[in-house]
Amino acid sequence: VYRFVLLTKNYGGGEAAALRDVVAGFSRLSEAEAAKLEPLRIDIVEVRPGDTIDGLSARMQVDRLPREQFETLNGLDRGRTLEAGDLVKILVRRR
């Protein structure tokens, strides 16, 4: 079961149609499509001396905004630094 909440500031006109299009765009994957997927997994890594948020987030195998996703995934406030020995999560693609 999937539950999506689609929100818009002004529901009417083009917004309603756009939200319906989003819902209509979902379909079951074929076995061939599913076999090609490489899901993201969470790896837990220990921060080493000299590691930075930028360096660790560069290891994230995401399509966009790796630093922002790293900070969110690890509950980090902007401006926070990492300390050696901290455990952090990174997203990687692995079968």
State pLDDT tens for residues 33-76.
Answer: 988 888 899 999 999 999 999 999 999 999 899 999 999 999 99
- Band of residue 95 on the pLDDT scale cut at 50, 70, 90: low
User: Which residue reads 């917004």 in tokens?
Assistant: 15
- pTM, two decimal places: 0.65
Q: How many CB atoms lie within 10 A of CB 25?
A: 7
- Band of residue 1 on the pLDDT scale cut at 50, 70, 90: low
Going by the DSSP 8-state scheme, the letter that residue 79 receives in this structure is: T
Report yes or no: 56 and 62 within 8 Å, Cβ to Cβ.
Answer: no
- Band of residue 31 on the pLDDT scale cut at 50, 70, 90: very high
Instruction: Please compute the mean of the pLDDT values over residues 25-29 and round it to a whole number.
Output: 87
